[in-house]
Amino acid sequence: MDDDGRELGAFLRSRRARVAPDSVGITVGTRRRVPGLRREELAQLAGISVDYYVRLEQGRATQPSPEILDALADVLGLGRTEREHLRALTGAPRKVRRSSRRRPERVRPELQRLLDAMYGLPALITGHRQDILAWNRLGSELFGGLGDGRRDHNNARYLFLDPASRETFPDWEQRARETVAVLRLAAGRHADDERLRELVGELSVRSEDFGALWASADVMVCGSGTKRFRHPAVGELTLRYETLQLPVSAGQAGQELHVYNAGEDGGAEEALRLLGTWTASPR
């Protein structure tokens, strides 16, 4: 079984386990040994043979038709992001030049100048492996010291392997769930990325928290919302963020620009102002 087959099987099993039988019209008379739908029930509801569905979960059939994918997604109640992830896991194998699989990600100089011009707004750029590739002064401080080597530049590695991350992010559990879900989505889109597979393998071995969250097979896109931070100079603050997909350039795909602001929160606005003054002064 190849990697795509394992990922597809794990994703289907995790989604099947979350569907309550009574939510799809199945009456359960006795207590079940496992939660969710049985394989034969899902196959029947999706209108496919049990044998074919078993082969899908076992990774022996990895390219079902769009009609089968839609039927499975409907029964499983998948959202838009999960449907895209399912399609990515069942896509045709992609041919990638070996040299590009380990190519380090770079940010164009023009983007760094854009970050630096965002005075008063913490901002940073990430790659699909959760590497923080570029930042401005406020972004560096807000995320625990990117510019002076106080933390790992890979956000997933920082969250799960550095205890200091729990001080930087007061809602650490939520940040951890989101990070794993975003990383899992990237793993489906970049199946040939050796560095990404190595990162997932490292975190699975070194962090029980990561392993448990990865096994849930959740996927997510974080386009906007709020995040809580804690900084020794200004205390806790809650900021709004917007995430923008950057155009592909020089073979670099999946880069995102994240910009944070206080919104209408006067306390957060004052904290950002103080943090900007603190970062600009000699220490």
| CA–CA distances in Å: residue 281 to residues 114, 199, 276 | 22, 36, 9
**Which is it for the CA torsion 14, 20, 23, 24, positive or negative?**
positive
Does residue 161 surpass a pLDDT of 80? yes
Supply the pTM of this predicted model.
0.74
On whether the CB atoms of residues 79 and 21 are closer than 8 A, the answer is: no
Predicted confidence (pLDDT) per residue in 206-243, tens digit:
999 999 999 988 998 888 999 999 999 999 999 999 99
pLDDT of residue 115: 95
Predicted confidence (pLDDT) per residue in 248-258, tens digit:
765 566 799 99
pLDDT of residue 61: 75
pLDDT of residue 104: 66
On whether the CB atoms of residues 45 and 65 are closer than 8 A, the answer is: no
Per the prediction, the chain carries an average pLDDT of 86
Rg over alpha carbons for the chain, rounded to the nearest Å, is: 21
Provide the 10 A C-beta neighbour count for residue 32: 11
Question: How far apart, in whole angstroms, are the C-alpha atoms of residue 204 and residue 54?
Answer: 27
Question: How far apart, in whole angstroms, are the C-alpha atoms of residue 104 and residue 252?
Answer: 9
Query: Which residue did the predictor score with more confidence, 66 or 123?
Result: 123
**Which is it for the CA torsion 244, 247, 249, 253, positive or negative?**
positive
Which H or E run contains 243? strand 235-245
Segment 72-90 mean pLDDT: 86
Structure confidence at residue 88 as a pLDDT band (50, 70, 90): confident
Q: Provide the percentage of residues in the chain whose pLDDT is more than 90.
A: 43
Which amino acid does the sequence have at 266? G
Q: Which two tokens stand for residue 246?
A: 């950057």
